[in-house]
Chains A and B, each alone.
Chain A
Amino acid sequence: MSTTFEFTSDNQKIFQTILKKYPKKRAAMLPTLHLAQHQQGYISPDVEEYVAELLEVPVVDVHEVITFYSLFSQKPMGKHHIRVCNSLACWIRGCDQVKEYLREKLGVEDGEISEDGDFSWESVPDCLGACEMAPMLQVDGYFEGNLTRDKIDEVIERKKRK
């Protein structure tokens, strides 16, 4: 049950600095949505209404944006979100086995959240831009490459401790 969304007072200040960067309010759309997703973990309908009001745009335009871009999520994700690259170089170097191992280790399918809510993972067809360390994944935004089973174990342990 989501209550009406509002930026925290810190985020309000950040929003004001964001606005100053652009000659038109609408241009602040992406950074504002990033900020909102960072605060709440995902974009809910009341976030859309809130952002539409802040930027003085029709709310349907906000919905178009969040359904268009891959990084905005309309559902909550795990505490740590993992994205596995499936692009050509990573595929050549074994991303299928990475996915198999993650499925085994976390116990959930592509696109799902683990039982304890700690991890969610998805496999993405986009190249994440780290082909020199293929196969690789992105967790909480940061790249982990040259993956081996041990490396994947280590990453997951490290994240669990946080």
Chain B
Amino acid sequence: MPIVKLVSEYFGNEEARNLKWRLEHGGYEGARKMFREMEPSKVTEEVILSNLRGLGGAGFPAGRKWSFVPQNTDKPKYLTVNADEAEPGTFKDRYILEWDPHRLIEGIIICCYAVGIHTAYIYIRGEYVRPFERMQGAIDEAYEAGILGEKTLGQDFKLDIFVHRGAGAYICGEETGLLESLEGKKGWPRLKPPFPALVGAFGCPTVINNVETISHLPNIMMKGGQWFADLGCERNGGSRLFALSGCVKNPGVYELPLGTPLRELIYEHGGGILGDRKLKGIIPGGTSAAVLSADEVDIPMEFESLARAKSMLGSGAVIVLDETVCMVKALHNIENFFAHESCGQCTPCREGTMWVYRILSRIVDGAGTPSDLETLKALAENMSGTSICALCEGAAMPLRSFLEKYPEEFEYYVTHKRSMVEDLQKDSVLV
């Protein structure tokens, strides 16, 4: 399938950030059309029809999430756009923020109109400094031009958009962790229910959507929900950004229709494996997703197929692992991340992530034993379904899948005290 240029239309175009240029190239057309032709409830219906899924990780249907917000409430409602992009391997939202911030603003206008929201916060991870500057610049331009404020796009609809910078915590990408951080506290996720649609930011009904999810809305308004749904595949509407990295010749952001085979992404668009080496495994949706073995490379990249394969489409971050990558060390790297990012609130995650990391460190240092592998499997099970939020699952899924799909590498390491692919690793050198 060919590359699609919908949300990524202006990636790489230095002029797209400029409001004047952007207005001449379709900027805010979708939102204007919506104001002219649609009632708010019709907008939500159209988004439900489009099968637009949450593109930050969970894949929850966006329109359905909006419909959970009570309409008959006298509390203010909020939108928080999740730009905390921190799932390892993910860098696609960064492109939207850096290259086409006005598209995001337009998407925010559409969502807020549909749900009846007048204040939106964009939660940008603290490490994204240039994206923050560009986003804030676009917002300032939008206010100046009367696109935002008391009369959004000249309509009788007030909308304020504020950027809230994070300060370096992956857990603030979790919905309720984000809300806690927005409210000025440490990002400890909340117990659910109540869900944010009922009780979210400052105790008020809140919609939380990923940057990319929101950024698809202008096209959906222009061309209709059915068009978007048809572009994708069953239950997965439209296209999405894939962030391709790892052992590929052409790492980068690729927009493709949902359902595109993984093989195509890696070989056709990504240029294939570095040095034309052999594929060993693929992480299909950020390191929280279970790893796929090389023979699963024909899987269609859409939510349900990945779920059936016991993995997930997640954040669309595809990390390619070839024959020179030691799977034991790769898992060790992944679990280091989770141990570092666990917020520490609940028992299984706080203790489990650290324990798993220390076992793997010992194995990597050559002091592992076969019983360690049994312990790791048991820990993966004990860390599933017992925690407050999904970070713990995110640590358990790679653990389980690496052990399951590459047992020979783990067994080799604990028996021989070194990596099975040690000799192949002379390749990754700093030039």
Residues of A participating in the B interface, judged by any CB pair closer than 8 Å: 21-24, 26-31, 33-34, 55, 57, 61, 64-65, 68-72, 83, 86-89, 91-94, 97-98, 100-101, 125-135, 138, 141-143, 147-149
- Asked if residues B185 and A61 are in contact (CB atoms below 8 Å), the reply is yes
Inter-chain contacts of A23 with B (CB < 8 A): 76, 202
Given A88-B287, A129-B91, is A135 in contact with B127 using a C-beta cutoff of 8 Å? Answer: no
Known contacts: A88-B283, A101-B430, A147-B430. The answer to whether A127 contacts B184 by CB under 8 A is no
Closest B residue to A143 using CB positions: B130
Chain A binder among B50-58, B164-172, B378-386: B164-172
Q: Which 10 A-B pairs have the closest CB atoms?
A: A29-B184, A70-B168, A141-B129, A97-B430, A131-B245, A69-B167, A127-B88, A71-B168, A68-B186, A26-B184
5 CB contacts below 8 A, A to B, read A24-B184, A71-B168, A86-B333, A125-B341, A142-B129
Contacts of A134 in B (CB 8 A): 245, 251
B102-146 toward A: CB 8 Å interface, digit per residue (1/0)? 000000000000000000000001111110000000000000000
In angstroms, Cα B182 to Cα A154, docked, is: 38
Please state if A126 and B340 are interface contacts (CB–CB under 8 Å). yes
Contact A131/B202 with A31-B164, A86-B333 known, Cβ cut-off 8 Å:
no
Q: How far is the CA of A3 from the CA of B387 in the complex (A)?
A: 44
**Chain A neighbourhood of B60, CB < 8 A:** none
Smallest Cβ-Cβ distance to A83: which chain B residue:
B127
B292 within 8 A of A: no
Q: Is the CB of A88 within 8 A of B168?
A: no
Q: How far is the CB of B330 from chain A (nearest CB, A)?
A: 6
Give every chain B residue within 8 A of A28 (Cβ-Cβ). 184
Give the docked Cα–Cα distance between A83 and B431 (Å). 20
A61 proximity list for chain B (CB < 8 A): 185
Within 8 Å of chain A (Cβ to Cβ): is B183?
A: yes
Q: Counting CB contacts under 8 A, is B94 at the interface?
A: yes
Q: How far is the CA of A93 from the CA of B343 in the complex (A)?
A: 28
CB distance from B318 to the nearest CB of A (A): 10
Contact (Cβ within 8 A) B88 A30: no
Q: With the chains together, A130 CA to B162 CA distance in Å?
A: 24
B91 & A131 in contact (Cβ 8 Å cutoff): yes
**Which A residue's beta carbon lies closest to that of B182?**
A27
The reply to whether B186 and A88 contact each other, CB–CB distance below 8 Å, is no
Check if B181 is an interface residue, CB within 8 A of chain A. yes
In the complex, the answer to whether B333 meets A87 with C-beta atoms within 8 Å is yes
With A26-B184, A131-B243, A132-B244 known, 18 other A-B pairs at CB within 8 A are: A28-B184, A30-B165, A64-B185, A68-B187, A83-B127, A86-B336, A87-B337, A88-B319, A89-B246, A94-B428, A97-B430, A98-B430, A125-B340, A126-B340, A127-B88, A129-B91, A131-B89, A149-B430
Whether A129 touches B90, Cβ cut-off 8 Å, given contacts A26-B185, A71-B126, A135-B430, is yes
Interface residues of B in 183-201 (CB under 8 A from A): 183-187
Partner of B334, one of A88, A100, A131: A88
Collect the chain B residues with CB atoms within 8 Å of residue A70's CB: 167-169
User: Is B175 interfacial (CB-CB < 8 Å)?
Assistant: no
B88 to A148, Cβ gap below 8 A? no
A64 to B321: give the CA distance in the assembly, Å.
38
Measured CA separation A21–B168 after assembly (Å): 21
* B4 at interface, CB cutoff 8 A: no
Distance (Å) between the CB of B427 and the closest chain A CB?
A: 9
Which chain A residues lie closer than 8 Å to B166 at the CB level?
Answer: 30, 69
The one of A34, A91, A94 in contact with B429, judged by C-beta atoms closer than 8 angstroms, is A94
Instruction: Across the interface, name the chain B residue whose C-beta is closest to A61.
Output: B185
Cα distance A72–B252 when bound, in Å? 30
Report how far A64 CA is from B186 CA in the complex, Å.
Answer: 7
Tell whether B325 is near chain A: CB-to-CB under 8 Å. Answer: yes
B336 touches A125 (CB 8 A): yes
B87 at the interface (CB under 8 A from A): yes
The answer on a CB contact under 8 Å between A69 and B184 is no
Pairwise interchain contact B184-A126, C-beta atoms closer than 8 A: no
Query: Which residues of B327-341 have CB atoms within 8 Å of chain A's CB atoms?
Result: 329-330, 333-334, 336-337, 340-341
Among A31, A92, A128, A138: residue with most chain B CB under 10 A:
A92
> In the complex, what residues of A have CB within 8 A of residue B319's CB?
88-89, 92, 131
Smallest beta-carbon distance B133→chain A, Å = 9
A33 to B319, CA, bound (A): 35
Residue numbers in B under 8 Å from A91 (CB-CB): 329-330, 333
Docked-complex contact A148 and B430, CB < 8 angstroms: yes
**A98 CB, nearest partner CB in chain B, Å:** 6
- A89→B127 contact, CB < 8 A: no
Is B253 an interface position by the 8 A CB rule? Answer: yes
Contacts A125-B336, A134-B245 given; indicate if A30 touches B184 (C-beta within 8 A).
yes
Which residue of chain A has its CB nearest to the CB of B287?
A88
Does any Cβ of A come within 8 Å of B393's Cβ? no
B86 contacts the other chain (CB 8 A): yes
Q: What B residues does A26 contact at CB under 8 A?
A: 183-185
